[in-house]
Structure 1
């Protein structure tokens, strides 16, 4: 019954958005209430669950998105994004620009959280698409694939790092195997699927304008000599990556030597996404504003306009978090866990399967992965299964079929200005390809190790 209720809830949501044209934010909140009632949640707990889901989601990403939007707008309005775009075009050539985007996104994605990567890269990629007269989504899908793959498979991202700790797997081996799996998976889900998606849903690739985050990159065009240098522009855009990489390296050293102290606490705070983005914005105010003798009033006007452009997107993301929380509090995850209890399937396939079902049922990749870890740890006892591959299989399963109960679905939809149908045929399919391809490569590696 819980899975049936979830399925019916998704259909109602699609009906409200696609047929009745009701605002996505309102539709998500309405469906969250309906599903909570159908799951039999106590009436006095429903509102609290919805509020905690929305607050928890926005609490973790509102600062990152808000500051990231300001950073992107400052770089774009000063001409920094245009300089980065033109330099990449000149280096790789217009014919190979998609590969430039994939390589850059993959490298950045290793250090950046998925949401941070989006708000930093979308304005720049939007500029590249405009300069080369290429479909924005043709570049955007490979970028999203690279960010998603690194987020799901590679430490130091939270998912694979926490799962590795749960399984007591060697984090270094997780990273090595993760890179082996991530590279071909990115190529399949990114450049290759982008060509297929263009045939499946041509309307999405014909859009001249994008969504909320592309408005950040839709800035005044300058003569190239009037823009900041490539070095300054790239340093400002990559500053979050450098800070996160520094924090990651120090934390790995700390784990290796077992040290503690104020220095490591300071570095940990310095490497948190919110702190990273705040410091990056302060740097951009100087490099893209003060250093170029732009009046502070104009710099702050850019900052304010960037936040206005993502206001509705933040509400939609928060409502998606509310729906996710209702599914968790309503016991959908526990119900799925009971289905697989006592199963005798191969641990790698079982980990992927449980994580996939949990992901589809309740939306959160992190919740799906952590719940799966708790279920399969007892099943691994007495087996010689490779723990690093178990981590990757769990991560792969937790990425599958991002749809309306996943905040990532709404982030992509609003960022690229897609309809719900177009988001299903691009993002949902892309995530499924990443999940299935990842499992195939994991199984291939398991045959040799």
Structure 2
């Protein structure tokens, strides 16, 4: 029975990852094979399905993920991220330093992976908090909220982009909806949430020797406009396509915007632009720029493999016709497919820890609902993304990154980080449901 096969597969996934501490990529491949065989596939057919899923997922996402990592690395190595942060802080002043930090993290977070964003911005958080005379977590929590929200909701981040490929969602629409939802989520989960803590509980002892950031001089950093435009270029190009589609879908310029608005092309053009703005124009030699490229690619290899394995699991569900079985069951269900998708992703997130695994697995299970219910595939992407960032605890690498950088106890980390990401998840779900009511 298909439902039993899925339950066995998910239980096995949890067993392999939680109990045996097996790598997520290997776990997903093994689970995909087991589910395929349980559903009547021969071992060779199951492996062929896995191979097809791997190839299909990598074929559509490899350039997006790699180019995104390269852009983020170039911005870090050039001092562009530091320029954006310091300029906004100077413009807003000490009284609004929290808002400046949130804006910085939101902008920088578009181009950087969550882990990279933390490494880049935590030193600035310590510097800002000390200079402004405010508790470290007063700045740190909203910054982390912005980074994880952009990571979960806004393409071209690998999570939402990979989930979009499962639902065949339009990247441009997903980006626009994602930003709309991300704004209230960041405000509520960041600055508003910090107001519920006493000042002394937000103060920490800055860890010694945990990081050794490069401090760029003013002459070494690119200008603010250059840094901002380069960081936002993928969003600008993709969003321009959405605007033209809405305003002038039949115009002569439509083919041009179809091209530059493609996520792969937008990121490729942005990376080439960054070679100059964050590299050659700053006096760096091409060899140095290419070293940043090499470092960026090596850093995201496992993320790419996990996403590909999630695609393999999805393909097995399709090839074994489990997807059709689920669609038939849900045809008469009154439960919102958006809520169901969020719930599946949230349960997997709590159990497995990996937001990528949770989002991709939930998408593979819920993908048939798009065709049978007519629900917006873009909102399904964001529902899965919202569920995938809910309550994070000791089985999530992000939990430990946050804990160690802010020198917190496990209890303090749960009270701040775990509760915060849950708030972001619930606000994200509310935003998805509200947009669905408006466009339906």
TM-score by length of 1: 0.68
Structure 1 alignment gaps of length 5 or more: 110-115, 152-156, 166-170, 197-201, 378-386, 405-411
Aligned to 2:293: 303
Aligned to 2:148: 144
Aligned to 1:225: 219
1:285 aligns with 2:287: no
CA drift of 1:22 comes to 2.4
1:74 aligns with 2:78: no
- 1:348-406, Cα deviation, whole Å (9 max, x unpaired): x53434555776799557667763343335xxxxxxxxx9xx889766655553389xx
TM-score by length of 2: 0.69
> Aligned pair in 2 of structure 1 residues 186, 335: CA closer, same or farther (>3 Å)?
farther
Structure 2 distance, partners of 1:439, 1:300, is 40
**Larger displacement relative to structure 2 (47-56 or 218-227):** 218-227
Aligned to 1:254: 248
Aligned to 2:387: 401
- 1:32–1:50: 8 Å Cα contact kept in structure 2? yes
CA drift of 1:244 comes to 2.0
- 1:181–1:441: 8 Å Cα contact kept in structure 2? no
User: Of 112, 121, 125, which residue of structure 2 is paired with 1:132?
Assistant: 125
* 1:418-429 alignment, distance < 5 Å: 429=422
Structure 1 distance, partners of 2:241, 2:385, is 26
> Aligned pair in 2 of structure 1 residues 432, 371: CA closer, same or farther (>3 Å)?
farther
Aligned to 1:376: 373
> Aligned pair in 2 of structure 1 residues 143, 78: CA closer, same or farther (>3 Å)?
closer
3-state SS, counterpart of residue 401 of structure 1: helix
Aligned to 2:133: none
> Aligned pair in 2 of structure 1 residues 294, 195: CA closer, same or farther (>3 Å)?
same
> Aligned pair in 2 of structure 1 residues 33, 68: CA closer, same or farther (>3 Å)?
same
Structure 1 distance, partners of 2:208, 2:434, is 36
CA drift of 1:45 comes to 2.4
- 1:166-207, Cα deviation, whole Å (9 max, x unpaired): xxxxx99x99999887654554455567899xxxxx9xxx99
Aligned to 2:86: 86
- 1:212-233, Cα deviation, whole Å (9 max, x unpaired): xxx9xx8633223321121221
- 1:143–1:190: 8 Å Cα contact kept in structure 2? no
Structure 2 distance, partners of 1:80, 1:176, is 24
- 1:110-151, Cα deviation, whole Å (9 max, x unpaired): xxxxxx935378645542221122577762333332564567
For these two proteins, the number of residue pairs brought into alignment is 390
3-state SS, counterpart of residue 68 of structure 1: helix
**Larger displacement relative to structure 2 (238-247 or 349-358):** 349-358
**Larger displacement relative to structure 2 (231-240 or 368-377):** 368-377
3-state SS, counterpart of residue 231 of structure 1: helix
Structure 2 distance, partners of 1:74, 1:177, is 27
3-state SS, counterpart of residue 388 of structure 2: coil
CA drift of 1:272 comes to 0.8
Q: CA RMSD in A?
A: 4.9
> Aligned pair in 2 of structure 1 residues 122, 273: CA closer, same or farther (>3 Å)?
farther
> Aligned pair in 2 of structure 1 residues 331, 399: CA closer, same or farther (>3 Å)?
farther
